[in-house]
Structure formats: structure tokens, C-alpha cells
């Protein structure tokens, strides 16, 4: 028994307050957005969603988030591996630096990218001379997404590598397997659950990202306008129903991802 | 091979994390000390930083209290069935899946000036949207899971045995909490506080939608940076951005420290 307060009324009051807080803060708003998107019926909902600019924005977001996630799968697997398996000077420093994108305000991250790669910077000038653009075009959006979702795969892979039983690996070596073969047959399969759940979290964060992207994307409708910025634009132009309709698509996508990750993670200890 | 991987890791870190950090510092000094102080000591900068500080304090206090209590209920409470517990447990993570802009939109849709609840509050002279209460609500929504997610696993791990022992020996429950439960969840809570502070300090999308970004009124540090950049006033934005970045690096160090303590206990 763990009643925080023995008194019945006190404990009843606490329970109700905490549950109400939870329901009012989290559950009601999410229901609100689904009902609002259908507030004028199916027809306007369908019209908002099938607006070419809207679905172009959603498709662009998904495409760029997929690219950013793939980049992060490679970077994250490599860095997670290096930070767990190798000893080298500066390892602890790098390991604590991994979380920087979580701690840094996303608007500041966007500003950083703008300063580094913008038209007046060295890299930006070089790119213009070579004939391609970074800032206010797709590459900048991908860079912003990679930056913001950088820690996910690393942090998901690291605990798995720490738990990994070394004896299997050593057995493979003694039986004459090469390093590469051991990696792909023994080590990589045990990292896969971490890579998948890390990648899914990174992807769902990527399609939701706003702060870092809005500053560097240029936000040209149909070209560099991603979904969250599109929603922001609809709110600003006083079309909450349209904003809600596109939100519902993004939200549903994110919820499916989140619950899949939960499923993967809850299955893991039972293996 | 080993050397190659380590070098590659260093290259990624330097390109992706270290150079941008250095660039923010360099950028804010590009017009010298006076440019930096001018950007930072503008009236709107000071006001924005004050707003951010106010929101961080309110949000951290509220979400720490409610987060710890909710985690306790979700693990220990006998009055919630296991099915409902599991459902609530998965609902806690919802804000992680919601884009901050959508989080802000939700609050505008429910409490905005054109809704029933909004008009009711407005009539009684209490503004929610485009004012501080709405901004606090938006930040509360976004940071809600952080504390619960830190405390809940610790509670599950330590089990209820010690607490039960303390209760059967006749200890008062409040006393049980401080003497038995608190010492084991302490570092989890501290870690959760650091995460909540970091997230609420940097919250941008949700606050931008809810606040309307009115200068000297509802503008926070991050939305000021956004507005300055939109107005091509990058140097002024740099000063505020540097302050924010310095805070987040400080918080990162705190995180590292709390994480180490958490593992020891």
C-alpha cells in the first residue's frame, strides 16, 4: 500500500487533480484537433488535404525526413560503435556532446546553419560559385533535420552494444571468420532493433521539425515548404480547419510510428 | 580500420556540432563588444529573456510536481486497472509525436478567442491565447513526458517492497515518500528537471503559434531570434542566440553530471 496521504479525502483530491491535469493537458487537445479537422464535414476536410500545395508539402516532408533518417542511420551506427568499442582521447567529451541537439533551442540551430552555409558565408559562396544552392533549398532542410535528430540512433544503439555478449564474437573469430563477416553476421543483427527504433524516432522528429527548418528553408510553396511550416502558414492566414486537416495526417503518421517503436521496445526484453 | 572510424567520428562531430557552436560565438562578436551588448540589451531582448525565464520556472515547477505524482500513480496505484494503466502509459508519450506547431494549434483551437471557452475567459477578463497562460500551457504540453519518462522506470525497478515494509512498520505515508521513495528517485527527478528546463527554454514552434509573437509583450527569446532573422537583423539575433546556446551547453554539462550520479545510485 502506498497511499501518499492516509486521509481518504486528501488522496482522492490528489488522484483527481493529477488525472484531470493529464486529461486536460494531453488527451483533450489531441481529440480537439481530430474533431476540428472534421468540424465542417468530410468535404472541406478532403478539400484541404487534396489541395496540391498541402499534399506537396506533406510529400516533401516525408521524402526529406527519409533522406535525413538514412544519413542518421549510417552516422549513428558508426558513432555509436566507435564511442562504445574504441578508447581514444576525447571520447568522453564527444559522448556528452551527442546530446547537444536536444539541449539547443531549434531556432538557434537554424540560425547556426544560416550563419555557416548562408549566402554571405564561405561555404555558401563556394557553393554558389560551383552552381548549387544550399540555404533556402532542400539541402539545408536535410542538414537541419540531420542536426536535430542526430542523437536518436546513437542513443538507441549504445545500450545494445554495451549488453552484447563478447563470447559470440570471439567464437566467430576463433572459427576463422573475418572481421567484416563477424560484424555483419554477429554484431549488426543485435544492433538492428536499436537502429530501427532510433531511426523511427528520428523520422517522426524529422517530419515534425519546425524551428530549425523554418529559418533555412525559404518556404516557397510547392518547392521548399514543408508540412509544419505549411500548417503554421494556414494558422497565420486564419484557416484553422485547413491547418487541422493537414495536422491530422502528420499526427496519424507520427502516432503509428510511436506505437510501433513502443511495440519493438516492449518485445525486446522477452527475446 | 580503427583509426579510420575514429577519425570519421571526429570529422562528423566537428562539422555537425563543434563548428556551428563556434560560429554562433564568432557571429555574435562580428561587430565587437558593442554590437553584442547592443543586440542583447535592447528592450525587446531583455523582455524576451524575462518571458522565457518566467515560462521555464512555471513549467518546470508544475511538470515536476505532476510528473512525479503521475509516475507514482502509474506504477503503484491499486485503483487503476492494469489495462488502463498500460493505455495511460502509452498516452504519456503523445506529445513526443506531435509537431510543436500542431501542439500550439491545438491550444488555439480549443481556447482561442473564437471558441466557447475562449470567449468565456475573455469576457471575465482573462486572456489565454496570445498571452502568458497560453504560452505556459503550450510549453507544459510539449515538456510533459520528460519527467514521467525519467521517474517511471526507476520506480518500476526499485519495486514496492521497501515502501510496503515502511508502511507496515507504521510509518506515515508522506514520511515513507521522503525517507524511502525519494532517495532512490532523486537523480531521476533531477535529470528530468534538467531536461524539462532545456526543452522549455528552447521551445519555439508551439509558443510561436500561441503567443502571436508580439514584441515586448508575448515574445520569448527563441521567437525573438526568429523575428530578427526574418528582419535580416542577424547580428542582433546572434546576441540572444549566444545566451541561449550558453545556457544549453551549461544544461548539457548538468545532464552529464546527473546521468553519472543516476547510474551510481
Mean pLDDT on B76-86 = 81
Q: How many helices (H) and strands (E) does chain A have?
A: 15, 0
pLDDT at B261 exceeding the cut of 90: no
Encode pLDDT of A17-50 as tens digits.
Answer: 888 888 888 888 888 888 888 877 788 888 888 8
Specify the pTM.
Answer: 0.89
Q: Domain check: are A99 and A233 in the same one?
A: yes
Asked if B69 and B182 count as a contact pair (C-beta separation under 8 A), the reply is no
Q: Domain check: are A33 and A64 in the same one?
A: no
Q: Domain check: are A11 and A128 in the same one?
A: no
Contact across the interface for B97 and A258, Cβ inside 8 Å: yes
pLDDT at B202 exceeding the cut of 60: yes
Mean pLDDT on B160-172 = 68
Q: Domain check: are A191 and A113 in the same one?
A: yes
Collect all residues of chain A within an 8 Å Cβ-Cβ radius of residue B160.
2
Q: Domain check: are A139 and A259 in the same one?
A: yes
Q: Domain check: are A150 and A244 in the same one?
A: yes
Domain interval for residue B18 = 1-30
Domain interval for residue A211 = 52-270
So what's the pLDDT on residue A115? 87
Residue A253 lies inside a defined structural domain of this protein: yes
d(CA A228, CA A214): 9
Residues contacting A59, CB < 8 A, separation 6+? none
Q: Domain check: are A160 and A264 in the same one?
A: yes
ipTM for this prediction: 0.87
Alpha carbon separation from A66 to A60, A78, A141, A149, A203 (Å, rounded)? 10, 18, 12, 12, 7
d(CA A4, CA A21): 18
B214 touches chain A (CB under 8 A): no
CA dihedral over A72, A78, A81, A84, signed as positive or negative: negative
So what's the pLDDT on residue A2? 46
User: How many structural domains compose chain A?
Assistant: 2
Grid coordinates representing A134?
544550399
The residue with greater pLDDT, A157 or A122, is A157
Q: Domain check: are B87 and B19 in the same one?
A: no
Q: Domain check: are A17 and A120 in the same one?
A: no
Question: In whole numbers, what is the pLDDT of chain B averaged over residues?
Answer: 86
Mean pLDDT on B195-223 = 91
**CATH at A151:** 1.10.3720.10
So what's the pLDDT on residue A3? 46
Q: Domain check: are A63 and A162 in the same one?
A: yes
Residue of A18, A91, A268 to mutate, interface with B, max B Cβ within 10 Å: A18
Encode pLDDT of A69-102 as tens digits.
Answer: 999 999 999 999 999 988 999 898 899 899 999 8
Q: Domain check: are B18 and B106 in the same one?
A: no
Q: Which of A26-40, B48-62, B144-158 has the lowest mean pLDDT?
A: A26-40
B165 touches chain A (CB under 8 A): no
* Count of residues in chain B: 265
Q: How confident is the model at residue A270 (pLDDT cuts 50, 70, 90)?
A: very low
Residue A245 lies inside a defined structural domain of this protein: yes
pLDDT at B11 exceeding the cut of 90: yes
Alpha carbon separation from A179 to A154, A192, B2, B8 (Å, rounded)? 22, 18, 12, 19
CA dihedral B224, B229, B235, B239 (to 10 degrees): 30
pLDDT at B42 exceeding the cut of 70: yes
pLDDT at B77 exceeding the cut of 70: yes
Q: Domain check: are A94 and A174 in the same one?
A: yes
Encode pLDDT of A93-152 as tens digits.
Answer: 899 899 999 899 999 999 999 888 887 788 888 888 888 888 888 999 999 999 999 999
So what's the pLDDT on residue A271? 40
Asked if B151 and B188 count as a contact pair (C-beta separation under 8 A), the reply is yes
Contact across the interface for A146 and B16, Cβ inside 8 Å: yes
User: How many structural domains compose chain B?
Assistant: 2
Q: Domain check: are A77 and A141 in the same one?
A: yes
What percent of chain B shows pLDDT beyond 90? 38
So what's the pLDDT on residue A1? 43
Residue A224 lies inside a defined structural domain of this protein: yes
Chain A nearest C-alpha distance from B204 (Å): 6
Q: Domain check: are B194 and B244 in the same one?
A: yes
Amino acid at each position: 500500500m502506498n497511499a501518499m496521504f492516509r486521509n481518504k479525502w486528501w488522496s482522492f483530491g490528489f488522484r483527481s487533480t493529477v488525472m484531470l491535469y493529464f486529461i486536460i493537458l494531453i488527451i483533450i487537445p489531441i481529440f480537439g484537433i481530430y474533431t476540428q479537422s472534421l468540424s465542417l464535414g468530410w468535404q472541406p476536410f478532403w478539400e484541404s488535404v487534396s489541395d496540391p500545395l498541402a499534399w506537396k508539402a506533406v510529400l516533401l516532408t516525408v521524402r526529406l525526413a527519409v533522406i535525413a533518417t538514412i544519413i542518421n542511420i549510417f552516422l549513428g551506427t558508426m558513432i555509436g560503435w566507435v564511442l562504445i568499442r574504441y578508447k581514444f582521447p576525447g571520447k568522453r567529451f564527444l559522448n556528452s556532446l551527442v546530446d547537444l541537439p536536444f539541449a539547443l533551442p531549434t531556432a538557434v540551430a537554424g540560425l547556426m546553419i544560416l550563419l555557416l552555409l548562408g549566402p554571405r558565408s564561405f561555404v555558401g559562396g563556394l557553393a554558389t560559385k560551383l552552381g548549387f544552392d544550399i540555404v533556402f533549398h532542400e539541402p539545408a532542410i536535410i542538414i537541419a533535420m540531420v542536426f536535430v535528430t542526430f542523437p536518436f540512433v546513437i542513443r538507441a544503439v549504445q545500450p545494445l552494444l554495451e549488453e552484447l555478449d563478447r563470447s559470440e564474437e570471439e567464437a566467430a573469430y576463433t572459427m576463422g571468420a573475418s572481421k567484416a563477416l563477424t560484424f555483419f553476421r554477429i554484431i549488426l543483427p543485435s544492433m538492428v532493433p536499436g537502429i530501427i527504433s532510433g531511426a523511427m524516432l528520428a523520422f517522426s522528429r524529422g517530419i515534425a521539425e519546425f524551428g530549425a527548418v523554418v529559418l533555412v528553408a525559404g518556404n516557397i510553396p510547392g518547392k521548399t515548404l514543408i508540412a509544419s511550416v505549411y500548417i503554421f502558414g494556414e494558422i497565420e492566414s486564419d484557416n484553422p480547419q485547413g491547418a487541422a486537416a493537414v495536422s491530422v495526417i502528420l499526427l496519424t503518421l507520427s502516432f503509428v510510428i510511436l506505437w510501433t517503436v513502443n511495440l519493438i521496445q516492449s518485445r525486446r526484453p522477452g527475446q | 580500420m580503427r583509426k579510420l572510424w575514429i577519425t570519421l567520428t571526429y570529422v562528423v562531430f566537428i562539422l555537425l556540432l563543434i563548428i556551428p557552436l563556434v560560429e554562433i560565438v564568432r557571429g555574435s562578436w562580428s561587430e565587437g563588444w558593442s554590437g553584442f551588448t547592443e543586440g542583447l540589451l535592447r528592450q525587446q531582448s531583455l523582455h524576451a529573456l524575462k518571458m522565457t525565464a518566467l515560462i521555464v520556472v512555471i513549467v518546470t515547477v508544475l511538470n515536476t510536481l505532476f510528473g512525479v505524482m503521475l509516475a507514482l500513480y502509474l506504477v503503484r496505484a491499486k485503483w487503476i486497472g492494469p489495462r488502463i494503466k498500460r493505455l495511460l502509459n502509452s498516452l504519456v508519450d503523445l506529445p513526443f509525436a506531435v509537431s510543436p506547431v500542431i501542439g500550439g494549434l491545438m491550444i488555439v483551437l480549443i481556447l482561442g478567442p473564437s471558441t466557447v471557452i475562449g470567449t468565456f475567459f475573455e469576457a471575465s477578463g482573462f486572456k489565454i491565447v496570445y498571452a502568458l497562460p497560453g504560452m505556459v500551457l503550450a510549453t507544459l504540453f510539449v515538456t510533459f513526458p520528460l519527467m514521467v519518462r525519467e521517474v517511471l522506470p526507476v520506480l518500476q525497478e526499485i519495486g514496492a517492497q521497501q515502501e510496503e515494509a515502511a508502511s507496515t512498520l507504521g510509518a506515515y505515508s508522506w514520511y515513507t515518500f521522503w525517507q524511502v521513495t525519494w532517495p532512490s528517485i532523486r537523480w531521476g527527478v533531477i535529470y528530468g528537471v534538467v531536461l524539462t528546463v532545456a526543452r522549455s527554454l528552447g521551445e519555439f514552434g508551439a509558443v510561436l503559434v500561441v503567443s502571436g509573437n508580439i514584441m515586448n509583450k508575448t515574445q520569448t527569446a527563441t521567437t525573438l531570434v526568429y523575428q530578427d532573422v526574418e528582419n535580416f537583423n542577424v547580428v542582433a539575433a546572434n546576441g540572444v542566440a549566444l545566451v541561449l546556446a550558453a545556457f544549453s551547453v551549461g544544461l548539457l554539462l548538468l545532464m552529464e553530471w546527473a546521468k553519472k550520479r543516476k547510474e551510481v545510485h
